[in-house]
Structure 1
Amino acid sequence: MLKRKSGPLVVLEDGTVLLDDAHPGAEKAREALAGFAELVKRPGTMHTYRMTPLSVWNAASQGKPAEEILDCLEANARYGVPGAAAGRVKQWLSRYGELELTSIEDGMLLLSGPAARLREITDECIASWGAARAADGIAVPGDRRGDLKRELLRMGMPVVDHAGYREGEALRIGLRGELPSGKPFRLRDYQLQAVERFCRDGVQGEGGSGVIVLPCGAGKTVVGAAALARLGCATLILTSGTTSVRQWRRELVEKTTIAEDDIGEYTGENKQVRPVTIASYQIMGRRGSGGHMDLFSRRDWGLIIYDEVHLLPAPVFRLTAELQATRRLGLTATLVREDGRAEDVFSLIGPKLFELPWKALEREGWIAAVSCREVRVPLPEEDGETYDGAGARAQLRLAGENPRKAEAVRRLLERHPGKPALVIGQYLRQLSSLGRELEAPVLSGSTPPEEREELYSRFNSGSLPVLVVSKVANFAIDMPDAAVAIQVSGSYGSRQEEAQRIGRLLRPKEDNRAYFYTVVTDGTKETEFALKRQLFMIEQGYTYEIAEKGSL
């Protein structure tokens, strides 16, 4: 019989870990667990995590050895760690670093590692790369670097890439010590750590490619600017849209010594290719004659920054496989990808190099403390029969556009008079109706860039107390004073979207408090999807209070 301890974790043989959220040690255990496991569901107080090869390899990329992971599990496990689970962790971690890629002559690369591991790679696979077996490994053409890493990762063999990077076109740029406003400027400690981890080129293969994970409001753009300044090379920045293109430009002008004429905007309106060029994913992903993928070869880029890397579209993934000789920096608040392409981020952009838990930054005052509440409202009786007879997609829309949500939104806004508030949703008809009822403007994907900038400016200045926004609020928009967000509908069970929307509230404030509400229709599929949406935030240590409309 297993000896029972008092820990909050129950570790199962298949790598599943149950966290007892009611246990006094749950918060500390959760923070550690998030470093090498992923939350998959949370029925009641028992939250289910799963350790996977990818989650463990990301931990290894940040320097976590098997002993540290197993010690954490053992210290918190109620019944100890089963030998099979420990064996899985050790086996996965033993794979990380076994295979290495180095540069040899004539543009060729050498894949080296234990002979037994190399023999697992089939001759057919080697031939598909145009590679050949050699006495000391496998010789691979340099232009198949990305294909090789992606394919081997899918085979359970992560490759540590030591093959190096091109220098790129030199650029004179540094960080300012003082902002144009006269306020002193320096990197926060964690921002400096993130830059150091990325720029450690040649140190055990850790530098030059990888992902930095920090919550919205923690200064990911500053980390990107600092990496650019440290490397001093021509840089292509890809981001979510025209608004964020302009925000990147403002940040670079404000915080670095770069000349404004050296920054180009590559959007639907401008096609400027300069030493630092900022483009949107939308324009890069266009098909046919309107495509702009040649931007990747228009200059000798020494660095490519993928802002909001969790949004990276498939066409950019495909081209990134060919750009492995260029340094690549991914920035994101969450590595969650609902399309299952997290492996492509790992193999083509790079492993997770640096991450800080959201609650750790909250404790230090770098981001606002956010209270989360789920508000459940009933479906009107007259819509009940229609809902019961509808298909799954129609049911979700009926629940999402529930007209009774409007009253809940008004009452929630009344709870926070004077606080800048966002009302966020999925369906334009619903948002238009709310805009009329609240006498607030509606900002959507069809809103022209100039009008968007005006609305953001009015909101940030305090002259616009409430702004109704569509999915454009999921992306990198800068509204530092937003203190309340009310979500009225969303994209199914998207954990990524939930994190991005809460991220709009995280900029530090005078009282450093913010409030996030998600309004869902009780007794419908929307409540099921709400549970899925909340998984990433729960993993970060946030809790959602459940309230009925009458108890607002």
Structure 2
Amino acid sequence: MDVDSGADSLSLVRRDFSRMPLKVDHNSRPLWISPDNGHIILEGFNTLAEQAQDFLIAIAEPVSRPSFVHEYKLTPYSLYAAVSVGLEPDDIIEVLNRLSKVPVPPSVLNFIREYTASFGKIKLVLKQNKYFVESSHVDILQMLLRDEVIGQARMPEAAKAATVAQTAPGVATEAAGPGTPGTSKAAAQDGTPQPEQGEHDLFSAVIGVYDADELDEDDQVHSFEIKEEFIEVVKRRCNELGFPMLEEYDFRNDHLNADLEIDLKPITHIRPYQEKSLAKMFGNGRARSGIIVLPCGAGKTLVGITAACTIKKSCLVLCTSSVSVMQWRQQFLQWSNVPESQVSVFTADEKQKFSGAAGIVVSTYSMVANTGKRSHTSQKMMNFLESREWGFILLDEVHVVPASMFRRVLTKIKAHAKLGLTATLVREDQKIDELNFLVGPKLYEANWMDLAAKGHIATVQCAEVWCPMTAEFYREYLREKSRKKMLLYCMNPNKFQAAQYLIQYHESRGDKIIVFSDNVYALEAYAIKLGKPYIHGGTPQIERVRILQNFQHNPIVNTIFLSKVGDTSIDLPEATCLIQISSHFGSRRQEAQRLGRILRAKRRNDEGFNAFFYSLVSKDTAEMYYSTKRQQFLIDQGYAFRVIMNLIGQDEMPNLVYATKSEQIELLQSVLIAHENAANVGTDVGPDEFSVSSSAPRAQRMTGSLNALSGAQHMSYVERNRSMNKTLGSEQPRHRAFQKRAANSRKRT
């Protein structure tokens, strides 16, 4: 029985699967396959669960993965990803049938065959800074050219006759060896065919195995060139037509672009799940474009660096902030043997070019995507980035790419291979699916709970602390209709007391604590009242570094307050406890990113160690709704949020803040007289902005006229201009003296 959410209410939809015949040995098989919607249920307690989970990650999207029962869903994009890493439709069906408790329903078989038939038949190829659509199937190319959208994107000079050419370097394909009798179609990572001998051998033969339908060297590849500005449009249209473009880079046979001398240092250790994710990208000897999803603190940076060391071509790394840029540069120098002169930076403060024919450039999305007027040095650097072919583009926090400003970097920069890295492949604007054609399919997604169980990330206890609103605050909360309602539930005195209690409790245990608040007004109020250092967008860089270094190395500084600038750009493995007092509405991504600040805790491998994540919520306010929505992504990863109604011992604390009624009323008055801009949570972005807690209104851009700028709009002669009077009269009433004068004038005429 499933829950179906309707427009006004929740209704239960009964789905009866009792007629589906169970196999004789169904107890040893871990999967249930739904015939009507492609959902697959995995029994996490089954002996084959771990191997089955690896297989399901390759062919389906994880929906929810709590402790004992996991849910996956087959989608066209997930099947495209499966084919792109070399899985054949027959292999997918065969393994599903072996794992399923019931025969695979015909509807699921048809779905798999339908959406895998056309994948991989056309490719997008970059040659000599030009984009070509290539395929060995002439009829498919002719069908694409007849399409109105794709036909308009074709280069005019190429419209006379189709280009027929041998596959160029960088796109060359190798002949697939004939299958050996008695072996599976799939081959292991080293290319050795594996015998089909039971379930375990079947997994080793299919999971991470690549033997796609390759082209022989003698096969001709037909192609046509498309305009650079239409790349995104063509990729989207091909997806809609059911022919998603495959983007692969045969970097070993690319002799046109200079090689980059880079390797991992001998001391660098790659974890098993990192190796598995990279095997999905390089399984057939070429670099597939796509996305790798790993939890915060699980080593996404090292995965990207290892990919760059494998391709050994010029690499462009794009991050979300200048702090991340410097971290990526430092990580390249720490884990690889690349010379410092070949790792350059392109930010507002530094604009460098690497030495030699090949190198690495680390920059931000906003620097590359900016369409405004640039300085001379910045424009010179952009010309350098746009004029060359890049072997590899690395997209950190790839979930930001669908934003209208950032997505243009993928057409501005010409790269053979793209790899997106993220911990949270979610967006609240439903644009996350666009990454399938902007970057590529999801190649790998790790299980957070499995990594925590194996000690790769910290085990976290999550709790939601309910803080009752005081009578005075709740009365004003019900009266307010502006955005100041949010400020009232953030500044709830009981929330102050809960934060004070949790900070003192965890400091006494020896924990390092980060307190997050999106609202800068509340951030400063809490930090000053509790006597703790704080960082927000207006904090100077020198002050930020001083506070963070004290937090890391000074035993006296055990708590810092951070605004949203600390969501993704600050690496603090010392932190073991996180308290959230204010958040950005219902953002699931932000909740997961903040949890990630404590997943790298240095003490994570200590026996019995737990990190702690507290979310303080004012009861009976809109914050409770947002909190539930924010937690959904983490709950799907297997985390459980406990609700704490009462913090035992809080009332007996000495020096409890806002303990008296008079102090609470004084706090309420300060909140009520605060400017409404103090309730803003989305403007704290960097050190160039002032704190939004200022009581003065911020500057705003408004429409106006030259008359208004010169002051003429308020001079008396405007009253004689009847057309202007009519315009003004529709917006604001005229003074009675002028109304009487105008009436007398009309009578005389």
TM > 0.5 between the two? Answer: yes
Pairing 1:408–2:495 present: no
Q: Where do residues 67-216 of structure 1 align in structure 2 (5 Å cutoff)?
A: 84=107, 87-101=110-124, 108-111=132-135, 113=137, 115=139, 119=143, 123-130=147-154, 139-141=224-226, 143=228, 144-162=230-248, 168-177=257-266, 184-199=267-282, 203=285, 207-216=287-296
Q: Which residue of 2 aligns with 1:484?
A: 577
Shift of 1:299: 5.5
Please give the secondary structure, in 2, of the residue aligned with 1:479.
coil
Cα 1:469/1:68, change in 2 over 3 Å: farther
- In 2, Cα distance between equivalents of 1:81 and 1:380: 58
After alignment, is 161-170 or 223-232 more displaced?
161-170
Q: Which AA in structure 1 matches 2:270?
A: L
- Which ranges of structure 1 fall in alignment gaps of 5 or more residues? 178-183
TM-score normalised over the length of structure 1: 0.83
Q: Which residue of 2 aligns with 1:493?
A: 586
Shift of 1:89: 4.7
Cα 1:122/1:2, change in 2 over 3 Å: same
Shift of 1:521: 2.1
Q: Which residue of 2 aligns with 1:37?
A: 61
Q: Which residue of 2 aligns with 1:276?
A: 360
Identity over aligned pairs, percent: 29
Is 2:400–2:406's contact at 8 Å kept on the other side of the alignment? no
After alignment, is 130-139 or 309-318 more displaced?
130-139
Q: Which residue of 1 aligns with 2:641?
A: 544
Pairing 1:372–2:474 present: no
Cα 1:127/1:469, change in 2 over 3 Å: same
Cα 1:305/1:472, change in 2 over 3 Å: same
Q: Which residue of 1 aligns with 2:297?
A: 217
- In 2, Cα distance between equivalents of 1:392 and 1:12: 49
Q: Could you list the per-position Cα deviations for residues 170-196 of structure 1 after superposition, in whole angstroms to 9, with x for gaps in the alignment?
A: 33222212xxxxxx4332233333334
Please give the secondary structure, in 1, of the residue aligned with 2:292.
strand
- In 1, Cα distance between equivalents of 2:136 and 2:231: 14
Q: Could you list the per-position Cα deviations for residues 526-549 of structure 1 after superposition, in whole angstroms to 9, with x for gaps in the alignment?
A: 222222222222222211112224
Q: Where do residues 290-369 of structure 1 align in structure 2 (5 Å cutoff)?
A: 290=374, 294=383, 296-297=385-386, 300-312=389-401, 313-323=403-413, 325-369=415-459
Pairing 1:454–2:469 present: no
Q: Which residue of 1 aligns with 2:10?
A: none
Q: Which residue of 2 aligns with 1:54?
A: 77
Cα 1:390/1:81, change in 2 over 3 Å: farther
Q: Could you list the per-position Cα deviations for residues 393-437 of structure 1 after superposition, in whole angstroms to 9, with x for gaps in the alignment?
A: 554554344343221112222332320110012100011111112
Q: Which AA in structure 2 matches 1:488?
A: I
Cα 1:38/1:361, change in 2 over 3 Å: closer
Say which one has the larger Rg: 2
Q: How many residue pairs were aligned?
A: 540
Shift of 1:30: 8.7
Is 1:61–1:352's contact at 8 Å kept on the other side of the alignment? no
- Which ranges of structure 2 fall in alignment gaps of 5 or more residues? 1-15, 165-220, 651-749
Please give the secondary structure, in 2, of the residue aligned with 1:350.
coil
Is 2:122–2:133's contact at 8 Å kept on the other side of the alignment? no
Shift of 1:162: 4.4
Which of the pair has the greater relative contact order for Cα pairs under 8 Å at 6+ separation?
1
Pairing 1:441–2:533 present: yes
Cα 1:529/1:70, change in 2 over 3 Å: farther
Q: Which residue of 2 aligns with 1:236?
A: 316
Root-mean-square deviation (CA, aligned residues, Å) is 4.0
Q: Which AA in structure 2 matches 1:439?
A: G
Q: Which residue of 2 aligns with 1:180?
A: none
Please give the secondary structure, in 1, of the residue aligned with 2:406.
helix
Shift of 1:84: 4.3
Cα 1:124/1:360, change in 2 over 3 Å: same
After alignment, is 388-397 or 88-97 more displaced?
388-397
Q: Could you list the per-position Cα deviations for residues 243-275 of structure 1 after superposition, in whole angstroms to 9, with x for gaps in the alignment?
A: 222212221222221222322222222122223
Cα 1:69/1:539, change in 2 over 3 Å: farther
Q: Which AA in structure 2 matches 1:3?
A: S
Q: Which AA in structure 2 matches 1:128?
A: Q
Please give the secondary structure, in 1, of the residue aligned with 2:492.
coil
Is 1:168–1:303's contact at 8 Å kept on the other side of the alignment? no
Q: Which AA in structure 2 matches 1:344?
A: E
- In 2, Cα distance between equivalents of 1:213 and 1:384: 42
